[in-house]
A and B are shown apart, each in its own frame.
Chain A
Amino acid sequence: MFIWVEIVLAAAILAGIRLMSTPETAVQGNRLTALSLLTAIVLVLWRNNILPQPIIVVSLAAGAVLGLVLALRVTMLQMPQMVALLNGLGGAASMFTAIVALGDRSDAAAFADQVTGGLAVAVGGVTLSGSLVAAGKLHRILSQQPVRIRLAYRLVVAGFLALLFLAPLMRSQASGVELTAWMPALGACALMAGVVLALPVGGADMPITISLLNSLSGIAASICGFVVDNAFLVAAGAIVGASGFILTRIMCGAMNRSLAQVLTGATAAGTVPDAAYAGQKPVETETATSPAPPGPESVAGKEAADRAPFDPVEALIEAKSVVIIPGYGMALGEAEGQVRDIYELLESRGADVKFAIHPVAGRMPGHMTVLLADVDIPYDKMVQIEHINPEFPRTDVAIIVGACDVVNPAANTAVGTPIYGMPILRAHEARRIIICNADTRPGYSGIENPLYNQDNVVLLLGNASSTLEQLFKDLSARASEKTGNG
């Protein structure tokens, strides 16, 4: 009888996700999924007669309130680390649940329970520590640079092997004592594995790691369903696992990198010859997209004048079609508001303005669309890479805001570099290009961007929010001048 209710609830989750495939119905979809989960919780409370246990009811309420407060206070800018943090909590819950479920029947735990319980502890632990490290990196508590930790890697593998070897011993003695020692050891090993997994990952690879951890949190929940014998839990966890898997694959494809390359930190820092950095002070991999300390205005102005083959203000005033390309630098410089102002000004002058979205721009899947939606940019103005690329040759002006690698034409030509073969936004084909980046240093990949030396490019270097602010002021002055004259 309950199995049918569970099937209906699982179907409701799938229907909810189906609704999430268009922006118009997505809000209802999310609410349907939430309702399905809520029903499942009430069902479990009622079926197991849990309500008379105050500690459980209080925990449930406390968690709900805490989650609510957290969710209402977080800003859209903090979203990547919020998602990572919540992910980690889910993993922790799965890990603890498996320990509790097994701990209680440790004396007579069946072999199958030990296996599934062990798996839940392992996957949950990796999710927990991996997500916390990722959240720390995104919140800039931890360095975003890729770190290579070979020794730790080997230690973790050795730890898992040792535990696997000890497992049959534990089983043959079949007393709770060994199990109680073995499980925490496994948990500790899993936590270390999570750190080893997330620590080597540099900033621009974050979307891949986040997606992978998302998948793992679902799988951990699903395995927990095996441990406590709950089919709905198995199904819901599996759906999350599949979702994370799809996102991971899409993100890897968008960077033309394999998961293994990302997880071992075999990126810019590892593959670019050190000579490339010779004579420079230690290069922070993020530099190309991070806001430089706001330097004197004249420096940015001079830089632009030196290379300027055209006046950016004139070009934009005359432009019929404009494509804006946001990157992580827009998020760092908090320049969304200025981008919106320029967008609205140009649209009001009759220009066709679009936003080009690269799948891995930013720090999580879809990061740029959330930031743009946050400043009221309509979603039908955000165009994905495959649809915007054919339009660049017809584009009068392309404005790049804090993006480097995703517009680097070297991706098509520089064989053997980390970005070779990576699909890029073909901004270099636009008639004129305005680049609002912090500096001209290479992006995360460490590969020089030949775009900076193109003749039809104007560089407005500095913090994107201040350079765009200035550009907006000049534009509005010029625009009112024009309307005043004509």
Chain B
Amino acid sequence: MEIKELLSTAFVAIRTNKTRSVLTTLGIIIGVGSVILLVAIGSGLQSFVTKEFEALGSNVLFISPGRVSFSGGPPQNVEAKFDFEDVRKIGELGAPIVKSSGMISKGVTIKYRSESFYGNLAGVEEDYQEFGNVEIDKGRFFTKNAVERGQFVGVIGHKVYTELFGEGREAVGKEVDISGRQIKVIGVLKEKGGGIGGSSNENTFAIIPVTTASKLTGINKPAAVMVRTATAEDTTIATRKVKEYFYRKDLTDDDFTILEPKELLSTINSFLGVVTGALSGIAAISLVVGGIGIANIMLVSVTERTREIGLRKALGATRRDILLQFLIEAVVLSVVGGGIGVAGGWGLSVLMSRFIETAVTPWSVGLAFGISAGVGVVSGLAPAIRAARLDPIAALRYE
């Protein structure tokens, strides 16, 4: 029997019981749809994280005081065992290190006239604009000159601006009060989209020269150090150089942590991959349930169509013909369900992309189709074998 004929027989049988067929494929639709959606969200998350890290620059190292552990507990506020002098010296360690800059961070109340806002004070160097991937909306960022002289100037985050001044008001040129000192606002940052745990992003920052921040807060140890290298490939060598520098100063691994964004990125991505895989696995359980549904309905169908099977055998159908007929019917049910599931999952992920980044990957679509065809074969096999084995005489007599 030709495949075309088998397919047309399958479609006729499925059309004959429309409602039943739709309900049966629902399990597959939901299973495939949720696998597609979850994989799309996972891939979207990975691409979002990758983009964020790429924005930081792949030729950057981050040094934090103390031991930063990913495995548990909130980050401790450790006072660094190195100071700004060390930051300067690290910057002068030579190739491949190009520059190093320290950063101070502290929670502060920022005031303008009667308005006040509790945000973060970030003391940085002039190259932070590049490092930190911040964009200026109005005004400008401060210069190297301002850092060297410790000028009382700064740029404020979008939220600080709207809270203190109000949308549309002029802020550049005005002075805000931080810890009792007047800081001249020379720039306002563009609003940053809510990232993951978006609370600590630059929207709530007042960014001033690190030298000024040191004077203002009395902090003379950096909260973080950023080291820039010539190329992305150099970060490993730079890490070794920085470590050697600290060891020479009798610091141990407990006193500092060096983060290489590209390594961190691969760790995060592999973690996200595992999470996506696990979630999709759970979603795939509904595929199993869907498969059981198909097997069940195919068994019912075989029983209902016993006489038809007897007739087909009397007309010359072999066991193989009958087996294929029911197997193809199960596969068609399952693959049609898979197709609808893919379309549904795709549609939902497009809808969700308004809120979070999603990416439907070709392999997940291929896999979903493959799995649904597989589910069809597995669940159709037992009913099809049963049909093929029916005794034609008994089948023809079946009432």
B partners with A: no
The interface of chain A, by Cβ under 8 A from chain B, is none
Name B's A-contacting residues (CB within 8 A).
none
